[in-house]
Structure 1
Amino acid sequence: MKNIEKENPQIDWHLPRDLLCEEKKWQDTIPDPPSELMSPFNYFSRFYNEEFIENIAYQSSKFVLEMDHETPNFTTLEIEQYLGILLYVDIIGMLQYRLYWLSESRYPPIADIMETVLQDQPPEEMQSIDEQIISFKGHSNLHQYVKTEPHKWGYKVFTPCGSSGMTHSFQIYEDDSTCTNFGIRISGNIVIELASTIPEHKKYKLYFDNWFSSISLAEQLQDKGIWCVGTIRENSIPNPPLKTGQELKKEGREAHNCAVNSNSGIVIFKWFDNKAINKHIRIPRPAVVSQYNKFMGGVDLADMLIELYHISMKSKRGYMRIFHWKLNVAVINSWLLYCRHHAELKTPGKNMSLLQFQAKIAVGLTTAAKAITRERG
C-alpha cells in the first residue's frame, strides 16, 4: 500500500495545562426499545428487509437469464426459504447436504422445501474499526493473504463495530482505490469512509490501532466532531515532543508523559508498561489506556459471534462467501438488538441464546412460503 500522506513537519506541541478538562459528552441517543420484545424473525427483518430480499430475487433471476438464457422468476418467498435453509444448515451440520432430504436421514424443515422449491440501525456511541477476513481460497482479484488472521486467505473487510459486537457498515478492501482519497494514506481514507455513516458533531468515539492512526486522520475526524482513540507509531508523529522509551524505562513502570498539539488540541500520551506505548486521543486524560482496552474489542467480538454458527456451505463463487457473511452479520446484529431490548425492557428470564434465536429465524424464513408448490425435477 502506498503512503500518500504528507504530514506537516512544523506542528507545534506544548505541555497540557489540565488533563482533566471537560469530558466530550456524547450528544446523540439510542432509540427507545419497543413496548414489548419482537419475534426473532421480526428483529432479523430489520436488517434483511423486504426490499433487500426483493433485490436478491431480481438479481438472481437476472443472473440465470444471462447465463442460461432461460426466463426464471425467483420470488421473495423462495429467497426467504433459501436463507432459512442456510441458517438451518449452520445449526444442524450434517456431513453431506443430500442427507437433509434422503429418506434415511430426512430433516423435514429443509426436506419439505427441497421437495417444493444491512443496515439502517442507529450507530452506537463507541465503535472500533478493524479488519475481518471472509474465508475464501478460490481465485479472485480481491483475494488477500493475512498471516496473522485465523483464516489467512480470503476477502479483507474493514468494519466499524460497537462494543456490543454489532456491525454498523463494512468496506471490502481492493487496492488503493478501495475508497475515496481524502488526502491521507489508504488506512486513514478507509476510516473516514466508514465514518461517513456516523452523525457529525454528536461526539461519537472511534477506536483503532496503529495501522490506521495518524495525526491527519485525527484532525479530519475532529473537523466532523468525531473523537478518536488509537495507538500510533512514533514515526507517524511529526516533531515528537515526548520522552524516549529509555528515559521512561529509567523512571519505572507506568511512567508517562504527554503533549498537546497547539493548533488542534490533539493529545499524544506515552505510557510505559513493559515497553513504551504511544497513543493519540481526543479525550485528554490518562484513563485513555483503559478506554482503549474497553472499547477496541468490538470487531473481535463480532468475529467470534460469526464463527459460532457461520454458514459453511462451500462455493467456488467468491461473491457467495460475501453473501453468506452478510447473512451471518444480519443474524448477529438482530440478536444483539434483541438482547439490548431485553435488558432495557427488563423482560423476565434469560436472553434467548444465539443458537435458539437463529433457529427461530430459520423457522420464520422456511415457513414463509408453504403455499408455493413446484413439480419435482
Structure 2
Amino acid sequence: MNAQLPRWVDLGLIPLLNLAAALLVAGLVVALIGQSPLEAVRLIVQGAFGYGEGVGFTLFYATNFIFTGLAVAVAFHAGLFNIGGEGQAYVGGLGVGLACLALDRWLPWWLIAPVAALAGAAFGAAWAFLPAWFQARRGSHIVITTIMFNFLAATLMVYLLVNVLKVEGAMAPESRTFEQAGRLPRLDWLMSALGYEQGGAPLNVSFLLALAACVFVWALIWRTRLGYEIRTFGANPTAALYAGIDPVRVTVITMLISGGLAGLMALNPVMGDQNRIFLDLAGGAGFVGIAVALMGRAHPLGVLLAAVLFGALYQGGAELAFEMPQITRDMVVVIQGLVVLFAGGLEFMFRPLVARLLAPFLRREEG
C-alpha cells in the first residue's frame, strides 16, 4: 500500500514509530539479560545529554554523521545509492591532513581551515568521480563500485601511512602531529552560552560547518535548477531524459557533491580532534550515514536530527556500558543495529497501518 501521506506523517510520525519499535525490541533484549530497560534508557540519555562533556561528545559524533548523512541524502535524490562515504571520507582525511601538514608552520588556523576543507571536499569528490563515471557511461552499478572503492581507499591510506607519511622512528602508522595553527578551535564559548562546560569533549567549529552544510543541501535540492534536475532524474530517469536533462551530467555532478560532503567529514576527526592523519579516521561514519539518511528521509533537517540521535547512541552507549557492566559494548552495537534495521530495512512496516488509520481524516480534509 503506497498511500501518499502528509509530510508531517512521512517525515515525523513514521520515523518516531520506527525508533519506538527499535527501542522496544532493544528493551526486551536488555530485560532478557536481567537488567532494567528503563534504567538503561535513563543512563543513555544521562550520558548523552545530562552533562556538558557528554553533550560535547554527542555533538562531536553527530558532526561526522551529519556530513556522511547529507552525502548519502544528496545521492538518494538522484536515485543513486552511494555507500562509498566511508572511503570518500577516508581519502578526504588525506586532503585535510596534507593541507595542515603543508601550512601549519606558516599560516593561522583561520586561513588553513578553508584550504583544508576545500582539500577534503576535493579529495572526497575525486574518489567518487570514477564510480559516478562508470555508472553513467558504462552502466556499472554504483553500489558495487562504491563498495570496491571503500576497500581501495583503506588500502591506499595504509600504504601512505606506513611508507610515506609515518614519522621516522615512530611505531604508529600516522603522520606527525599538526602545529597549533593546524588545529580547529573548540566550541567552549558555545557550550558556555548554553550553560554547559565542554570538559574534554573534542567538539569544534566543524560542527558549525556541518550546520551550514545542511542549509547548503536544502538550498541546492529545493531552490536551484540543478536540484530540480537531480530530483526529477531520481524520480523518473526516462521522463528526465525526455525533458532534456543529461543523465551523465546529473549523475556525475551529484556524486561529486556527495563525495565532497563525505570528504568534509574528515575535517572533524583530523583537524578538530586527533590533529594528525591516522588509520581508520572515518571510524564507520560513512556506513552510519546511510542509516542517518534513511531515518531522516533524505531531508537536511531529518538528517540533522537523526545524526544527533546516533551521536547520542554512541556517547550514551559508552556510558551505559560503563555503568552497567552486564551490558557490553557489543550489546550497545546491537541497540544501534536495531535502530538501523527499523529505520531502514523495516521502514515500511508501519506505513500501511498508519495510512489506514489516517485515511478517514485525510478524505475529510480533501472533501
TM over 0.5: no
Instruction: Tell me: higher relative CO, structure 1 or 2? Use CA pairs within 8 A at least 6 residues apart.
Output: 2
Query: TM-score with structure 1 length normalisation?
Result: 0.27
Larger radius of gyration: 1
Query: Which of the two has greater helix per residue?
Result: 2
Greater strand content: 1
